[in-house]
Amino acid sequence: MEANIHFPDPSKVREELIQRYPAKVAKKRAKSIIVNDPQLIPEVQANVRTVPGIITQRGCSYAGCKGVVLGPTRDIVNIVHGPIGCSFYAWLTRRNQTRTESLMDANYIPYCFSTDMQEENVVFGGEKKLKVAIQEAYDLFHPKSIAIFSTCPVGLIGDDVHAASKEMREKFGDCNVFGFSCEGYRGVSQSAGHHIANNGVFKHMVGRDNTPSVGKYKLNLLGEYNIGGDAFEIERIFEKCGITLVASFSGNSTVSQIENAHTADLNVILCHRSINYMGDMMETKYGIPWMKVNFVGAESTAKSLRKIAEYFGDEELKAKVEEVIAEETPRVKAVIDEILPRTTGKTAMLFVGGSRAHHYQDLFAELGMTTVAAGYEFAHRDDYEGRHVLPSIKIDADSKNIEELKVLPDPELFNPRKTEAELDALKEKGLEINGYEGMMKQMTKKSLVVDDLSHYESEKLIEIYKPDIFCAGIKEKYVVQKMGIPLKQLHSYDYGGPYTGFEGAVNFYKDIDRMVNNPVWKLIKAPWEKAGNGAGLAASYVTQ
């Protein structure tokens, strides 16, 4: 499928993007800038080191572990072991919303906990202070869980957060204390931290409570962090459909939900990049298959609900899902019908996350807009090209030191929810069971795919393509807007949302319409700066 809009010659664009770089840098970047062909799907270099000095969108392993995966669970006291900054910057900035059942329920999300490591702790070791901090947190709050996050100096000075956690866990008896070696220098981006977080949550939380969960269609929602209330909307839809959500990893979640997650019969994965490890490990240990879904976009939501119903293979559920879709669709349609004439034919660029740059293309498609270029900040090749490339991904030095848990079927709890034959039949029907086709298959031919886009490249792309909207994060927001192009933040949603489900689609349509058609973009030039406005007073006197 070729879009109607005119693409600049993508190979020339590619050359222009790298020409300013020193030779070695140019050579490296060239492998991450790819002209797409959805039929052939060329290889994209991804999850490799950012060249030092390049202005990158990427963050660190700690951000992926504490900020992304563990942050949204409300009743864990997350203590950051390190100097004060790391905990400070991850304090409430990701907009993980949460809703407790009563005002008495635990919610530590508005709090920031740190050992505030000082020079003497770096010199003489910080374990003692860490243990004091854990004790103080326990005495003050009596939480169900305390998680410890290692920042850069911790790994270097050799503080053993795991031993300290174990000691305190055993001492307390009624508080699960566990640690993460998620020092910022591990891996090449946030992605390493996601993997480390998955391992820790799987080892220390999942499977601790075997109470059978109640419900006919029980599933876990993986890789949904409830930014702007996204999980609330999905929860609403599930409830309407009669689907039981056992646990969410990790938006609007609690410790007990995650501890009980292995009693569900299906894992649906939204953010493939940050949580696919969990899907795989739970399948191996408990026999729960996972399936890639997307609740970003009204059509995608309907499609995902149908897939879930198909998985459970229950006519009652299928009928209910159709009923819900039929009920929700008219209000979505009313909005899109009104907006579509104003957005059709416009272009978007998405450079964000490890899954969002894919998911949001569905919403832009619903708006009649074309994604001319896209890429991820911290994804791997499988997120671009599909999971079939997994065996061919080379394990480099930076990935090698991220632990791969050796998971075996649980002797008692392993219970395949579907037989091999049943799974094959579902795959035949187009369900992405334990699979993901990646972003490029969905993108048009000759669109541009760029991994770990640099600041320099983003300015060039905007100059060349002049997109109607650019999607990225806070660091890019005002740079792009200074160029007169609206930027939609797809980490924080510009403090709006939710963008999932039917309600989310409506919100997004309205926001994008507002942004691309906002009169402010036409007010940038002062009247006296506009051509043909006369040379000032003197000239108008003459004409009079």
Partner 1 sequence: MLLRHTSKEVKEREGLTINPAKTCQPIGAMYAALGIHGCLPHSHGSQGCCSYHRSTLTRHYKEPVMAATSSFTEGASVFGGQANLLAAIETIFSVYEPDIIAVHSTCLSETIGDDLQQITRKAKDDGKVPEGKHVIFASTPSFIGSHVTGYANMVAGIAAQFPVSTGLKKNQYNIIAGWMEPSDMREVKRLSKELGVKIVLFPDTSDVLDAPQTGKHVFYPKGGTTIAELQSAGDSLASLALGPISAEPAAIALEKGCKVPFETLDIPIGLSATDRFIMALSKVASVQVPDEITAERGRLVDVMADMEQYLYGKRVALFGDPDQLFPLTEFLLDLNMKPVHIVSGTPGQRFEKQMRQLLDERSPETNFRNGLQADMFLLHQWMKNEPVDLLIGNTYGKYMARDEDVPFIRFGFPILDRIGHSYFPSVGYGGGLRLVEKILNALMDRQDRDALEEKFELVM
Positions marked active-site: 60, 63, 94, 194
- Does position 144 interact with partner 1 (CB under 8 A)? The reply is no
- Does position 83 interact with partner 1 (CB under 8 A)? The reply is yes
Query: Of 107, 244, 284, 444, which lies in the binding site for partner 1, with binding defined by CB under 8 A?
Result: 107
- Based on CB atoms, which residue is closest to partner 1, 118 or 540? 118
Opening angle at CA 13, ends 12 and 16, nearest 5:
90
Element (H, E) at 180: strand 176-180
Instruction: Read off the DSSP letter of residue 472.
Output: E
All residues at 6 or more sequence positions from 124 whose CB lies less than 8 Å from its CB, including other chains: none
- Does position 456 interact with partner 1 (CB under 8 A)? The reply is yes
Instruction: Read off the DSSP letter of residue 374.
Output: E
Query: Of 36, 47, 61, 253, which lies in the binding site for partner 1, with binding defined by CB under 8 A?
Result: 61
- Does position 156 interact with partner 1 (CB under 8 A)? The reply is yes
SS3 (DSSP) at 73:
strand
In whole angstroms, what is the distance from residue 363 CA to residue 344 CA? Answer: 12
- Does position 494 interact with partner 1 (CB under 8 A)? The reply is no
- Taking CB under 8 A as the binding criterion, the range among 119-127, 201-209, 283-291, 427-435 that sits at the site for partner 1 is 119-127
- Does position 1 interact with partner 1 (CB under 8 A)? The reply is no
- Does position 108 interact with partner 1 (CB under 8 A)? The reply is yes
- Based on CB atoms, which residue is closest to partner 1, 134 or 426? 134
- Taking CB under 8 A as the binding criterion, the range among 171-179, 283-291, 426-434, 480-488 that sits at the site for partner 1 is 480-488
- Taking CB under 8 A as the binding criterion, the range among 31-39, 46-54, 211-219, 265-273 that sits at the site for partner 1 is 46-54
Pair of tokens at residue 177: 């204390």
Q: How far is the CB of 157 from partner 1 (least distance, A)?
A: 7
- Does position 86 interact with partner 1 (CB under 8 A)? The reply is yes
- Based on CB atoms, which residue is closest to partner 1, 210 or 518? 518
- Does position 479 interact with partner 1 (CB under 8 A)? The reply is yes
- Taking CB under 8 A as the binding criterion, the range among 43-51, 243-251, 349-357, 384-392 that sits at the site for partner 1 is 43-51
Opening angle at CA 278, ends 217 and 149, nearest 5:
130
- Based on CB atoms, which residue is closest to partner 1, 162 or 477? 477
Q: How far is the CB of 138 from partner 1 (least distance, A)?
A: 10
- Does position 130 interact with partner 1 (CB under 8 A)? The reply is yes
Query: Of 87, 97, 257, 507, which lies in the binding site for partner 1, with binding defined by CB under 8 A?
Result: 87
Binding mask 505-524 for partner 1 (x = CB under 8 A): -------------------x
- Does position 89 interact with partner 1 (CB under 8 A)? The reply is yes
Which alpha helices (H) appear in 77-160, and where do they start and end? 84-89, 119-124, 127-141, 152-157
Q: Is the separation of the CB atoms in 377 and 471 below 8 Å?
A: no
Specify which residues 269 forms β-bridges with.
222, 292
Q: Is the separation of the CB atoms in 61 and 192 below 8 Å?
A: yes
Pair of tokens at residue 53: 């000095």
- Does position 101 interact with partner 1 (CB under 8 A)? The reply is no
- Based on CB atoms, which residue is closest to partner 1, 444 or 517? 517
Opening angle at CA 385, ends 381 and 386, nearest 5:
95
- Taking CB under 8 A as the binding criterion, the range among 91-99, 228-236, 324-332, 464-472 that sits at the site for partner 1 is 91-99
SS3 (DSSP) at 157:
helix
Pair of tokens at residue 524: 């940038």
Query: Of 11, 210, 344, 401, which lies in the binding site for partner 1, with binding defined by CB under 8 A?
Result: 401
- Taking CB under 8 A as the binding criterion, the range among 139-147, 230-238, 252-260, 417-425 that sits at the site for partner 1 is 139-147
CA separation, residue 370 to residues 85, 261, 346 (Å): 40, 38, 6
CA separation, residue 182 to residues 16, 125, 376 (Å): 37, 18, 21
In whole angstroms, what is the distance from residue 508 CA to residue 502 CA? Answer: 10
Provide the pairing of β-strand 176-180 with 266-269: unpaired
Query: Within positions 164 to 193, which residues make up the interface with partner 1, using CB under 8 A?
Result: 183-189
In whole angstroms, what is the distance from residue 452 CA to residue 255 CA? Answer: 34
For the chain, the first-to-last Cα distance in angstroms comes to 58
- Does position 58 interact with partner 1 (CB under 8 A)? The reply is yes
Opening angle at CA 422, ends 244 and 264, nearest 5:
25
Element (H, E) at 219: strand 217-224
Query: Of 137, 147, 288, 321, which lies in the binding site for partner 1, with binding defined by CB under 8 A?
Result: 137
- Taking CB under 8 A as the binding criterion, the range among 166-174, 304-312, 315-323, 475-483 that sits at the site for partner 1 is 475-483
The residue type of 153 is: P
- Does position 474 interact with partner 1 (CB under 8 A)? The reply is yes
- Based on CB atoms, which residue is closest to partner 1, 54 or 293? 54
Residue with tokens 């879904």: 293
Query: Of 17, 63, 374, 426, which lies in the binding site for partner 1, with binding defined by CB under 8 A?
Result: 63
Residue 455: how many other CB atoms lie within 10 Å: 14
Binding mask 7-26 for partner 1 (x = CB under 8 A): -------------xxx--x-
- Based on CB atoms, which residue is closest to partner 1, 188 or 317? 188
The residue type of 73 is: T
Q: How far is the CB of 29 from partner 1 (least distance, A)?
A: 10
In whole angstroms, what is the distance from residue 460 CA to residue 29 CA? Answer: 14
Pair of tokens at residue 389: 């490339």
- Based on CB atoms, which residue is closest to partner 1, 474 or 539? 474
- Does position 85 interact with partner 1 (CB under 8 A)? The reply is yes
